[in-house]
Amino acid sequence: MNTSSLTTKRRISILGSTGSIGCNTLDIMTHLGGREMFEVPAITGMGNIELLAKQARQTAAGFAVTADPDRYEDLKSALAGSGIEAGAGPSALVEAGARDTDLLLAGIVGIAGLAPTLAAAAGGADIALANKECLVSAGDLFTAAIAKGGGKLLPVDSEHNAIFQVLEEHQRHAVERIILTASGGPFRDFTREQMAAVTPEIAAAHPNWSMGLKISIDSASMFNKALEMIEARHLFGMRPDQIEVIVHPQSIIHSMVGYTDGSVLAQLGAPDMRHAIGYAISHPRRANLPIERLDFAKLARLDFFAPDEIRFPALALARTAMQRGGLQGAILNGAKEAALEAFIAGQIGFLDIADIVASVMDRLNDGRKAQSIEEVYAADRDARRVAAELMRKSA
């Protein structure tokens, strides 16, 4: 339950503290006062036990969890003498999500972040959402859990955070469209022939943002933008035809909202994920953040291009998933994850990722809808299984 108005310190739990989102969250919390201003009921990470234990000690976390069930003893040993409770594995992640907190920062990448974030939502916590799968794979379930729990949903993706900032609540009836900006990634000027030859190392070199390997490659294929389109539908109640994507190489305008009177409101800022994190942590107030201030004279120009859906078919696949509804978002995501892992392992080419996803979506287009989290997991497993079968046959 959100009780921040009754306590001196704000309680913030962090799922995925050792990743880029988690580390930047802790950086912002330190800047805003650290332990004098915040309590950390729970903190979780994966394999970097040394960093997780260091973060837990620095924040005096109540509960520290590694998602790896085989690393419990390592974490317990690293926390010896601190008084911090240790946990490991999926059930401990859910327990971390369920700990009483004012705000949960959901920074775990992938479907593994769904259950603990749902647990926090059910408990009434506000959710600072940086996990795409909660909405892409289980959008209807997740938004229903938020509504029932009574917490707020605060998007941390820079694009959705921008929309959240400029979408005037009392003017929702006048919202005509939302426009997600995309940097275009490292291959925005590549031909399909050039894209066919790229390696994971080349695909991971994002021109504007510092992100993890999988997220960077998703940006290169524009699958990250495809997922953001599906997220936007659930976050803001938009129809698929109201969601647009524009390539904006400078990443200064983070997204826009167009209204029926012809006005377009945009949120601008330096390409720094700490802005969106800080806004979510401090909401509804704006904090003084250590973010670069824009110098418009130095910027001089902002460029925009229509995305090429022949070279980047992920965007069309997102529209297909939204139009079909049901579990197609979970199927798209599961197939994409399987294909992405195969690309990183050198088993398929870069352009094969979208082809595999399209084939899996068509194969599993049976109109199923999610009534429970178990059905979401089942759709994810089915998508990965069919993707693996397709890749074996084409090998």
Whether the upstream peptide bond of residue 284 has omega within 30° of 0, thus cis, is yes
- Please check the confidence at residue 297 and state whether its pLDDT lies above 80: yes
The tokens for 69 are 């069930």
The tokens for 25 are 């969250």
Confidence bin at 345 (pLDDT 50/70/90): very high
Q: Output the pLDDT for position 277.
A: 97
- pLDDT, one tens digit per residue, over 166-208 is 998 899 999 999 999 999 888 999 999 999 999 998 888 756 5
* 261 burial level (CB within 10 Å; 0-12, 13-18, 19+): exposed
- Please check the confidence at residue 57 and state whether its pLDDT lies above 70: yes
Q: Output the pLDDT for position 120.
A: 98
Query: What is the reported pTM?
Result: 0.91
- pLDDT, one tens digit per residue, over 374-395 is 999 999 999 999 999 999 988 7
Q: Output the pLDDT for position 230.
A: 98
Q: Output the pLDDT for position 3.
A: 44
Residue whose tokens read 């004012």: 102
Nearest by Cα to 340 from 212, 155, 230: 212
Q: Which amino acid is at 187?
A: F
The tokens for 385 are 């299984």
d(CA 350, CA 352): 5
Mean pLDDT value across the chain? 94
Q: Output the pLDDT for position 4.
A: 44
- Please check the confidence at residue 5 and state whether its pLDDT lies above 50: no
- pLDDT, one tens digit per residue, over 196-242 is 999 998 888 756 555 668 888 998 999 999 999 999 999 999 999 99
Q: Which amino acid is at 116?
A: P
- Please check the confidence at residue 58 and state whether its pLDDT lies above 80: yes
Show the CA angle centred on residue 249, arms to residues 247 and 250, nearest 5°.
130
Name the 3-class secondary structure at 138.
coil
Confidence bin at 368 (pLDDT 50/70/90): confident
Q: What is the distance of C-alpha 105 from the center of its chain?
A: 11
Mean pLDDT of 41-62: 97
The least confident of 75-79, 120-124, 166-170 is 166-170
What does the buried/exposed string (b/e) look like for 264-281 if buried means 16 or more CB atoms within 10 Å of the residue's CB? Answer: ebbbebebbbbbbbbbbb
DSSP assignment letter at 27: H
d(CA 391, CA 100): 44
d(CA 142, CA 235): 10
Q: Output the pLDDT for position 203.
A: 87
Q: Output the pLDDT for position 212.
A: 67
As a residue count, the chain comes to 395
Number of C-beta neighbours around residue 297 at 10 A: 6
